[in-house]
């Protein structure tokens, strides 16, 4: 087929760089916004902190387009000798910003303290193993997961050692090294299953009381019954009382099911939540303010403004490098002005959206009763503030509001609706709260099943099926009735 050129008209919608910048800023939480502003100030010297100065003359100059035709007369008045050397090439011409958002960012991690594996390796040295056994022990330690369990099969470890380290051994010898590792601290490390992990910890207890012995007996021979809470079978087979079983269960619950995590808990960083909105209630009136860290004072650098003013005052004809410098200054000033406008637009959109959310959930914010939360979806708020649903989604994403009743994610106030017998629509949050209260008030000796919970809510006027109860219970991280049973 022959190649040929044709002319065609095409209508397209494209987002401007300013719109893309606003969307990215809109979805940032407070902490990330602070970091983004610092990055922008480092890359753009025309952006400064402080109150923005009103300068109509400058704003008019900044809005002018310096096309070739428009610049012909202005260039006669430009002189930049005080700022650059004619022999210098602008630095921005020597750099390229062609990185994709999909490029992998590689950072060098900083190691603080000893890792879980390093702590175990330091204990292995005390056993005075020969070279091969030491390498086998190190290989097994490296195969442990974050919880401290050995999930790989012994046969697979034998093959790994043969192929990777040229160590020929058998499963029986590997088993001896595994048992050696199980003597390390913390107790329970190197176990293959939860049952083995708990047994190791019980056997290493110094007190060999009747409670500890019964706990070992239950974990070793009645672990399935214990995990499924078939307490009646355990009492019958061990010939013990309910009180004795209760003491044994308390002993077992003190054990650590994930010994590997015990060494890393102290080194985990604590993430502090910084609320984006502050809500206060005084005399029945709700007041909402934007966190001050969300509304920084930014302005265009005065030194860059003076460069433009100096351009107007000079009459000498500029050189090519001076023209490039002028365009660089204008580019940075435009970028600073766009960023300041985007921050202001972000603040306006945040306040507009949160006001609409609080107005819909006013009864809840006045008394803090979750049953007062009304059904609300993103579309409801989008229609009220006359914005797109995606904009509302960006606002509520990762944004927190501080209230007299706690600090919550904005998206937690959005919920589905359910119908009552009277035809009234209620929020699923209200149903979950009633469900949670019913489970808290139930008898732990005979917990309510999903079927009984469904009947309980139906008697209160909520049309809800058993499978919906199961879904809400899982969302609330509440186990089934059998696992809620206590003695």
The answer to whether residue 411 is domain-embedded is no
pLDDT at 133 over 70: yes
Mean pLDDT in residue range 73-77: 41
Does 6 have pLDDT greater than 50? yes
**Does 471 map to a domain?**
yes
Average pLDDT rounded to a whole number, residues 46-71? 54
> Which one is predicted more confidently, 301 or 151?
151
230 located within any domain: yes
- pLDDT grade, residue 112 (50/70/90)? low
| Model confidence band, residue 311 (pLDDT cutoffs 50, 70, 90) | low
Model confidence at 291: pLDDT above 50: yes
- pLDDT tens digits, one per residue of 157-189: 888 888 888 888 888 898 998 889 888 888 888
* 480 half-sphere exposure, CB direction, 13 A CA radius: 8
What is the model's pLDDT at position 292?
Answer: 76
Total domain count, the chain: 2
Tell me the pLDDT band of 53, cut-offs 50, 70 and 90.
Answer: low
Q: How confident is the model at residue 356 (pLDDT cuts 50, 70, 90)?
A: very high
DSSP label at 272? P
Two structure tokens written together for 414: 């959005």
- The mean-pLDDT minimum among 109-123, 154-168, 213-227 falls in 109-123
- The confidence score (pLDDT) of residue 352 equals 92
Question: CB within 8 A of 37, min separation 6: which ones?
Answer: 296, 298, 343
In which band, very low, low, confident or very high, does the pLDDT at 336 lie, cut at 50, 70 and 90? confident
Q: Check pLDDT > 60 for residue 149.
A: yes
- Higher-pLDDT residue of 334, 105: 334
Take residue 343 and report the two structure tokens written for it: 């921050």
Structure tokens given for 352: 């507009």
For residue 133, the SS3 value is helix
Is there a domain that residue 95 lies in?
no
Residue 206 included in any domain: yes
Q: Which residues contact 309 (CB under 8 A, 6 or more apart)?
A: 58
**pLDDT given for residue 78 in this prediction:** 42
Percent of the chain whose pLDDT exceeds 70: 80
pLDDT confidence of residue 319: 65
Name the least confident of 60-64, 198-202, 365-369, 377-381: 60-64
Return the higher-pLDDT residue of 111 and 373: 373
- Going by the DSSP 8-state scheme, the letter that residue 14 receives in this structure is -
Nearest to 79 by CA among 331, 327, 310: 310
Looking up residue 454, the CATH number of its domain turns out to be 1.10.10.60
Is 457 a domain residue?
A: yes
Residue 222 predicted with pLDDT over 80 = yes
What average pLDDT does the chain have? 78
2: tokens are 């022959």
pLDDT at 296 over 50: yes
Q: Tokens in use for 408?
A: 């919550």
pLDDT in tens, 428-463: 777 888 888 888 888 888 888 888 888 888 888 878
Please compute the mean of the pLDDT values over residues 40-62 and round it to a whole number: 66
Domain that includes residue 441, residue range:
417-487
* Residue that finishes a domain, picked among 238, 255, 272: 255
Share of the chain above pLDDT 90, in %: 1
From 255, 280, 304, give the residue that closes a domain. 255
Whether the pLDDT of residue 231 is over 70: the answer is: yes
Judged against a pLDDT cut of 70, whether residue 86 lies above it is answered with no
Q: Does residue 176 lie within any of the structural domains?
A: no
Q: How far apart are CA 252 and CA 190, in angstroms?
A: 19
What's the rounded mean pLDDT across residues 109-138? 80
Average pLDDT over residues 77-97: 47
Q: Give the pLDDT confidence of 373-428 residue by residue, as tens digits.
A: 888 888 889 999 888 888 888 888 888 889 988 888 888 888 777 766 665 667 77
Of 443, 455, 431, residue with least CA distance to 481: 443
Q: Higher pLDDT residue, 431 or 285?
A: 285
Q: How far apart are CA 409 and CA 394, in angstroms?
A: 13
CB 276 within 8 A of CB 291: yes
* Top-confidence residue, 340 or 15: 340
Which of 223, 255, 287 lies at the terminal end of a domain, its last residue? 255
Residue 67: what pLDDT?
44
pLDDT score of 72 = 40
Higher local confidence (pLDDT), 64 or 33: 33
Is the pLDDT assigned to residue 192 strictly greater than 70? yes
For the entire predicted model, the pTM comes to 0.57
Could you tell me which residue, 129 or 315, shows the higher pLDDT?
Answer: 129
Task: Name every residue whose Cβ is closer than 8 Å to that of residue 70 and which is 6 or more positions away in sequence.
Answer: 64
Beta carbons of 486 and 444 less than 8 angstroms apart: yes
Structure tokens at 165: 């380290």
pLDDT of residue 152: 87
DSSP 112: -
Distances 294 to 140, 158, 275, 468 between C-alpha atoms, Å: 50, 58, 10, 39
Q: Is residue 247 part of a domain?
A: yes
């Amino acid at each position: 087929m022959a190649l040929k050129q044709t002319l065609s008209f095409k209508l397209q919608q494209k987002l401007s760089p300013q719109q893309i910048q606003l969307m990215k800023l809109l979805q940032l939480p407070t902490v990330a916004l602070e970091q983004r502003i610092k990055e922008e100030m480092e890359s753009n010297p025309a952006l400064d902190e402080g109150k923005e100065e009103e300068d109509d003359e400058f704003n008019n100059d900044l809005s002018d387009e310096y096309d070739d035709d428009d610049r012909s007369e202005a260039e006669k008045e430009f002189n930049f000798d005080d700022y650059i050397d004619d022999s210098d090439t602008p630095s921005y011409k020597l750099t390229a910003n062609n990185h994709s958002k999909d490029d992998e960012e590689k950072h060098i991690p900083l190691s603080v303290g000893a890792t879980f594996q390093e702590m175990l390796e330091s204990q292995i040295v005390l056993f005075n193993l020969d070279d091969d056994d030491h390498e086998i022990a190190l290989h097994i330690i490296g195969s442990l997961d974050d919880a401290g369990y050995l999930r790989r099969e012994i046969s697979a470890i034998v093959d790994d050692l043969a192929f990777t380290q040229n160590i020929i051994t058998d499963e029986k010898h590997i088993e001896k090294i595994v048992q050696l590792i199980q003597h390390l601290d913390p107790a329970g490390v190197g176990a293959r299953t939860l049952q083995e992990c708990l047994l190791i910890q019980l056997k290493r207890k110094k007190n060999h009381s009747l409670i500890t012995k019964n706990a070992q007996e239950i974990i070793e021979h009645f672990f399935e019954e214990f995990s499924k809470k078939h307490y009646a079978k355990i009492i019958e087979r061990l010939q013990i009382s309910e009180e004795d079983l209760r003491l044994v269960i308390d002993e077992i619950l003190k054990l650590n099911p994930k010994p590997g995590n015990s060494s890393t808990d102290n080194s985990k960083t604590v993430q502090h939540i910084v609320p984006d909105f502050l809500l206060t209630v005084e005399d029945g009136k709700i007041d909402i303010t934007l966190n001050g860290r969300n509304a920084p004072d930014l302005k265009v650098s005065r030194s860059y403004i003076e460069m433009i003013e100096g351009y107007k005052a000079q009459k000498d004809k500029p050189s090519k490098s001076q023209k490039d410098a002028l365009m660089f200054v204008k580019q940075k000033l435009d970028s600073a002005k766009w960023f300041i406008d985007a921050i202001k637009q972000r603040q306006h959109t945040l306040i507009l959206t949160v006001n609409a959310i609080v107005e819909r959930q006013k009864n809840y914010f006045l008394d803090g009763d979750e049953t007062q939360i009304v059904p609300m979806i993103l579309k409801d708020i989008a229609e009220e503030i006359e914005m797109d649903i995606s904009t509302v989604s960006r606002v509520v994403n990762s944004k927190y509001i501080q209230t007299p009743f706690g600090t919550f994610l904005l998206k937690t106030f959005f919920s589905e609706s359910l119908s009552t017998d009277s035809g009234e629509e209620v929020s699923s949050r209200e149903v979950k709260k009633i469900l949670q209260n019913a489970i808290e008030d139930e008898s732990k000796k005979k917990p309510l099943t999903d079927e009984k919970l469904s009947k309980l809510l139906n008697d209160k006027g909520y049309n809800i099926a058993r499978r919906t109860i199961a879904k809400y219970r899982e969302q609330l991280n509440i186990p089934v009735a059998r696992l809620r049973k206590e003695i």
